[in-house]
Amino acid sequence: MVFFRSVSLLNKLRSRAVQQSNLSNTVRWYQVQTSASDLDLRSQLKELIPEQQERIKKLKAEHGKVQLGNITVDMVLGGMRGMTGLLWETSLLDPEEGIRFRGLSIPECQKLLPGAKHGGEPLPEGLLWLLLTGKVPTKEQVDALSAELRSRAAVPDHVYKTIDALPVKAHPMTQFTTGVMALQVQSEFQKAYEKGIHKTKYWETTYEDSLTLIAQLPVVAAYVYRRMYKNGQSISTDDSLDYGANFAHMLGYDSPSMQELMRLYVTIHTDHEGGNVSAHTGHLVASALSDPYLSFAAALNGLAGPLHGLANQEVLLWIKSVVSECGENVTTEQLKDYIWKTLNSGKVVPGFGHGVLRNTDPRYMCQREFALKHLPDDPLFQLVSKLFEVVPPILTELGKVKNPWPNVDAHSGVLLNHYGLTEARYYTVLFGVSRAMGICSQLIWDRALGLPLERPKSVTMEWLENYCKKSS
Ligand code: NMX
Ligand code: MLT
């Protein structure tokens, strides 16, 4: 017993808190792992779980009755906007500043997380480590996780056959989600549950399923892409490459710039706190003890909606429709007319607005910086820059749009298009591959913390009318 306590103490000492100044002009604390001796993510988690279990127990016992706000009729009728109702450990969204992954902003992640080269974009595996543990990993730990993901990447043959049963022109998200459902037959959680595993062990097989799912998603996604757009000529994984570069490689893109783009792309799309449609759906479905494959497939179906992840497809198609109607050198006046035409025909301007953000999305800004560095003269990037100036005043003029600024989807398509990945209908699949890291990380913690079945109360309009009459 004494021995185990000392081991745990030593491990704690190995990860130290570091004060980093001059990050976004703030001073904040973050945890780094200073020793490379423990390269195993699962054992890191095993060590962290008991203290987090204690923490949630204490929070419940000491503050369970503290009120977090009032629920108004507007909130019930307005898609629960502004209603705090979910626990989500891996990231937190500030309406003005944007997302922080375990406390770190995107520029901070770009500085602190290991890259493939010095000063390069972060490796998504590093962000996965951060999401799961709350600690910035060493390069050795990231490399070990890359290797572990590669070792789990072999997709069973029946998955390809299942996808092949769909028409080749079926939407890529339909093919991708079908592939994820076919992967589900591997679920270790489901097998363990059928055998009657104790609930304290749920997180372990959830971890196994999650890592395997994350490892296999790029392979399934690339298969769908090559099936649809490259005559079915799929490309095998390259075991010398990291997660993002390997994904780009399997899609058929090997340039160093595209590898960097894919690392950045996968990193920034992973997580956006818990209330967005895909994360919330995954969390809800998982709360019924559905395994990670089932939960993530459900999340993908939410991501496939045009107000959520499908917006990245819609943006590039919309930009291309501007170009086909007005040409690449569209004037500001022509652009304004086109935007009004879109709005007057009862459609949204894709890529602008947000349910929580009230400022330009930092995920948009880091993609803009990438474009300024790598493709400043790209005509579609220049059009995106023009939209950044022209759209917000028009949306503001509408008088009802709460956030006129661009979101993540306003930018991603032109970057991919620049490197030859021009098939806009495919773009949401890329978003989906990344989002698995956020959803699965939280799902492992859901199991570790023993979070319960999610089941909010609903009411009818009649109930609301009567309630309001009584309280007025
Ligand atoms: N273009 C036109 N109208 C808009 C836009 C926009 N970009 N954004 C909001 N509105 C409208 C919205 O449709 C609503 O109109 P109505 O009252 O007639 O129904 C009104 O403004 C108020 O909506 P908000 O409260 O500002 O936004 P809400 O939280 O309801 O919705 C979005 C957020 C993201 C769904 C909305 O801004 C939108 O439809 N944007 C375009 C689609 C998009 O880019 N989605 C991607 C979001 C990011 N992601 O990856 O998920
Ligand atoms: C996301 O990344 O999930 C989107 O920005 C939508 C959201 O946060 O509601």
357 secondary structure, DSSP code: -
For the chain, the residue count is: 472
The Cα–Cα gap between 20 and 333 comes to 46
Pocket of ligand 2 (CB under 6 A): 272, 276, 308, 355-356, 407-408
Pocket residues for ligand 1 (CB within 6 Å)?
81, 307-309, 311, 343, 348-355, 395, 400-403, 407-409
Geometric angle at alpha carbon 192, from 186 and 193, rounded to 5°? 110
Q: Find where tokens 């204490």 sit.
A: 58
For ligand 1, atom 21, the nearest C-alpha belongs to 401
Has residue 445 got a pLDDT over 90? yes
10 pLDDT more than 70: no
Beta bridge partners of 28: 20
Mean pLDDT of 235-239: 97
**How much is the pTM?**
0.95
| Cα dist from 161 to 64, 155, 179, 180, 182, whole Å | 50, 11, 9, 13, 9
In this structure, are residues 140 and 123 in contact, taking their beta carbons and an 8 Å threshold?
no
What is the atom index within ligand 2 of the atom nearest the CA of 408? 5
From 99, 400, 431, the mutation candidate for ligand 1 (largest count of ligand atoms within 8 A of CB) is: 400
* C-alpha dihedral sign at 320, 326, 328, 331: negative
301-357 pLDDT per residue, tens: 999 999 999 999 999 999 999 999 999 899 999 999 999 999 999 999 999 999 999
pLDDT greater than 90 at residue 457: yes
- Residue type (1 letter), 270: T
Residue 406: DSSP 8-state: B
**What is the arithmetic mean of pLDDT over 237-259?**
98
pLDDT given for residue 28 in this prediction: 52
Cα–Cα distance, 100 to 112 (Å, whole number): 13
Look at ligand 1, atom 51, and give the residue with the nearest C-alpha: 308
Positions annotated as catalytic residues are 308, 354, 409
pLDDT at 151 over 70: yes
Report the chain's mean pLDDT, rounded to a whole number.
94
Ligand nearest, relative to CA of residue 396: 1
Quickly state the pLDDT bin for 272 (edges 50, 70, 90).
Answer: very high
pLDDT tens-digit profile of 375-418? Answer: 999 999 999 999 999 999 999 999 999 999 999 999 999 999 99
**CA-CA distances (angstroms) from residue 103 to 136, 165, 185, 232, 448?**
11, 44, 36, 42, 21
Task: Say how many Å lie between the CA of residue 313 and the centre of ligand 2.
Answer: 15
